[in-house]
A = this chain, B = another copy of it.
């Protein structure tokens, strides 16, 4: 394994010169002749500068970390895709870390394994303890996710308001005549369930339904919850799922049970994942700007990082949700 000294020796110059040539920093300060000799030597030795040594002296790793659970959910997979592309574009590497506990992310920062952490949170909280762990002027934490209060937060973030999305879904259902809607929740009394209850006007009843965890995956859970909803809550004419995966599971269960969607029961999803237009029937859902939040905030930070010197402050950003009406919703059956 060759290091910078080997290259220097092979080219008959000093390590400093090799460094200068390879970093292109002081290109104008190196004669074309030596430049070429160095490049040749590096090439033929298959030399690549050690990331560790470079990080040690530079204090940066050119790495961004994406912190998230649920990678299997297409919605998050999409965000990952976007992050990957942008990292690529700016010459960064992408580290994928579970967002289980704060301390893990803090170590990441303290060990300086990443310059930027994009943290997918639900919801984005007002004070992010991880952000408090930034250690260098060049480290940044961006929180991305639904927000539960008003901007500005004490920590910058890229966010949207699920209240808005849930409200749009509820009002859509109310508008076409539904009066009794089951909200398919993962766990009881969560945020979105609250929003749904808030959004329901006097003429609409929201019935929260959830199910003990333990089901294998979200699709199975969606199916199970949908069944329970229709069984336990007579009079329900529409299901509002907390995410598309649940909704897909629900569609499947209804189909199996011979319940026609949307003729007998309407179904609404959440997030507008890539499968939504291809489900059967195509899913009415709410588009959530996760991917765009990641893309915009990440790009902004990386640009600042590459231009500016000193501390980089991400700008907060709030985008809108959007109801996407497809074929899984219609007027309730006229009894």
Q: At the interface with chain B, which of A105-113, A191-199, A202-210?
A: A105-113
Q: How far does the alpha carbon of A186 sit from the alpha carbon of B133 in the complex, in Å?
A: 47
Contact A251-B280, Cβ < 8 Å, known A48-B110, A88-B98, A112-B51? yes
Q: At the interface with chain B, which of A10-18, A77-85, A304-312?
A: A77-85
Task: Evaluate contact between B278 and A219: CB separation under 8 angstroms.
Answer: yes
Residue of B nearest to A133 (CB): B46
Task: Evaluate contact between B61 and A71: CB separation under 8 angstroms.
Answer: no
Task: Evaluate contact between B48 and A56: CB separation under 8 angstroms.
Answer: no
Is A29 in contact with chain B by the CB < 8 A criterion? no
Q: Which residues on B sit within 8 Å (CB–CB) of A93?
A: 95, 97, 113
Q: How many residues of A contact B (CB 8 A)?
A: 50
Q: How far does the alpha carbon of A46 sit from the alpha carbon of B56 in the complex, in Å?
A: 19
Is A25 in contact with chain B by the CB < 8 A criterion? no
Task: Evaluate contact between B274 and A51: CB separation under 8 angstroms.
Answer: no
Is A50 in contact with chain B by the CB < 8 A criterion? yes
Is A120 in contact with chain B by the CB < 8 A criterion? no
Least CB distance from A257 to B in Å reads 13
Task: Evaluate contact between A278 and B248: CB separation under 8 angstroms.
Answer: yes
Interface string of A82-122 (1 = CB under 8 A from B): 00100010000111111000000001001111000000000
Is A259 in contact with chain B by the CB < 8 A criterion? no
Q: Which residues on B sit within 8 Å (CB–CB) of A136?
A: 1
Least CB distance from A133 to B in Å reads 8
Is A165 in contact with chain B by the CB < 8 A criterion? no
Contact A219-B275, Cβ < 8 Å, known A48-B110, A110-B48, A280-B280? yes
Contact check: which of B77, B219, B249 meets A71 at CB < 8 Å?
Answer: B77
Is A52 in contact with chain B by the CB < 8 A criterion? yes
Contact check: which of B78, B95, B280 meets A279 at CB < 8 Å?
Answer: B280
Is A188 in contact with chain B by the CB < 8 A criterion? no
Write 27 A-B pairs (CB below 8 A) sorted by A numbering: A46-B133, A47-B110, A48-B107, A50-B111, A50-B112, A51-B52, A51-B55, A52-B56, A53-B56, A56-B56, A63-B95, A71-B77, A71-B80, A71-B81, A72-B74, A72-B77, A77-B77, A93-B97, A93-B113, A94-B95, A95-B95, A95-B96, A217-B274, A219-B277, A248-B275, A252-B278, A279-B280
Ranked 8 nearest A-B pairs via Cβ: A48-B110, A280-B280, A52-B55, A52-B56, A51-B111, A252-B278, A77-B77, A51-B113
